[in-house]
Structure 1
Amino acid sequence: MIRPYNDFRYNHASFCLINDSCNVSSIGVNMNLHDVSLFLVITETRSLTQAAKRQGITAMAVSRRLASLERELGTRLLQRTTRSVSLTQEGMEFLPYAQALIEAEKGARALFSPSTQGAAGLLRITAPSGFGRRNILPLISELLADNPELSIDLQLSEDVIDIVGRGIDVAIRIAPLKDSTLIARKIADSPRVICASPDYLKVNGMPKSVEDLMKHHCLRLSSVSQWIFERGGEVFRIRVGGRFISDNVEGVRELCAQGMGLAQLTRWDVMKEIRQGTLVEIELSDARPQDLSVWAVLPTTRYLPLRVSTFIDKLKSSLTLSATS
């Protein structure tokens, strides 16, 4: 299952990459980090030929070094064809450890490199589109300004992608977390709210109870078939009716602001509109929407690159400030 992970300190003394499912003793002591780095290039380019061009060596040399790494690990990491390569199951399991090994080496070198200022390298982030546009994009310029050697690849999508297979450093997720071998750190609370425009409430009235919701037009996310509530410590779900469904938060929020119905979104999605008065938060007398949390989901590794911890700390501080201001 996804495990909470609250301590991101790196143990310099042990310099290891241990997790519950990793048998460190099976990794040979003579592993060549250059070969590990080359493995990462191959997984990124999906081609031995392209990896060779990027490294300035021959494709045959790439093949030999990959074979050497596989012999050292005692397993096949990649399936090769004449046109492309793909990760085996063992390769997918090894990928986050390979990334962490290279990052650990960079981190160790950076300890004694006076030219390195702040976080460095390519930070790959994925987040829900609505949350990302409102809460992550505004942080990017300052992150880049404060860390001259940092680059950021931000992927905004409603899809829950394979962060290990895609080489993602951190996934921001708000939906309830499913069982996984990944590690998650809670960044902030994310309460759900029911809201509507003042014009809609003026015409249709203010709902007072869960039962009243059945009489209203409800705007719904396609990924949320039921609205979830808590009452007396118990969780229950209701089906709501309406004529509009969207796969993204922006669509639901926009129609809600136009007076087309009620919406149940997270407070982060509608905080700006509620403060401006274009949306009104609705409090029911007999139940409240079930709360969620904002999570940073990480590949399975104990070593956290500085670029990742820098981003997580920045986002957490920003959300804390927004919630209290």
Structure 2
Amino acid sequence: MAYDAVVLVSFGGPERPEDVMPFLQNVTRGRGVPPERLAEVAEHYQHFGGVSPINQQNRELIAAIRADFAANGIDLPVYWGNRNWHPMLADTVTQMRDDGVTNALAFVTSAYGGYSSCRQYQEDIAAARAAVGPDAPVIEKLRQFWDHPGFVEPHVDAVRAALGQLDPARRDTTRLVFTAHSVPTSMAASAGPHGGRYEAQLRETAALVAAAAAPDLPYDLVWQSRSGPPQVPWLEPDVNDHLAVLAEKGVTGVVVSPIGFVSDHLEVVWDLDTEARDTARRLGLDFARAATPGVDPRFVAMVRELVLERTDPDGARLRRRLGELPLWDICPTVCCVPARRP
């Protein structure tokens, strides 16, 4: 199939204080999140003036992708649509249709499989196309990229840089702590031919980053940013609880690396830079937070490579990856649907 556009699909975030609660209501609609939890999360955003960093980070990423495309002879326009806040994906698909786009590729700002990190974005794309109507462009999601060198290598360098902030004399009691967004355990074990991959892929990424950045240090994969009702089981342990356990075991310093994320958005700058850092300070732990890929040139080039995998006649030959878990280009519609929605 010939493609005539790329659309970056992301989570979205508020850009002024009055956007915060409507945005959170979009995010949590139908999930039974208590109002008091929404109010608590709203305060996190208000701490930063009611502005999430994610939209500006996406603008910067899109600008970098466009420049990379132009420098490498890829003549495809790059659009942008969000799941939960403006620019909303349905509005973007409308614009694509009006611009004459017929077949597009979607780059989703999530590296992993699973319901909320992959399948839900596919549902968002389908819903946006349905809202536009029968003349909406066909949109195919690019593959997951948890083990692509363009994603892994920036994390490796970020962990090395963060380790440089800690006392080398205490390296023997330093630990790497990799984090990702927690999800309900029913989602983590979601059904389908490629279901249940979220945690496995994260563990592979953690192993790849740790082996390259600091093979002499022990590491853990833990979770952050839980937002669901308390009676629903989610992946554990939480990063703050885990820091307390490490302190009890004699660990003196941690490098926290948010491998579940591609940029330093609010769940990084609040849950890690604010809450987890405060926890570490209270426990007497030295704390350094590793950066996310953001607009690292290797990450930007990865987007081009993923596009070429689909558009180049030798696309399969161009595929680069570091891991060994199964990989596929297109997910079936029954993939990663939770057995029971929480």
Greater gyration radius:
1
The structure with the largest helix share of the pair is 2
TM over 0.5: no
TM-score (normalizing by structure 2): 0.29
Q: Which has the higher strand share?
A: 1
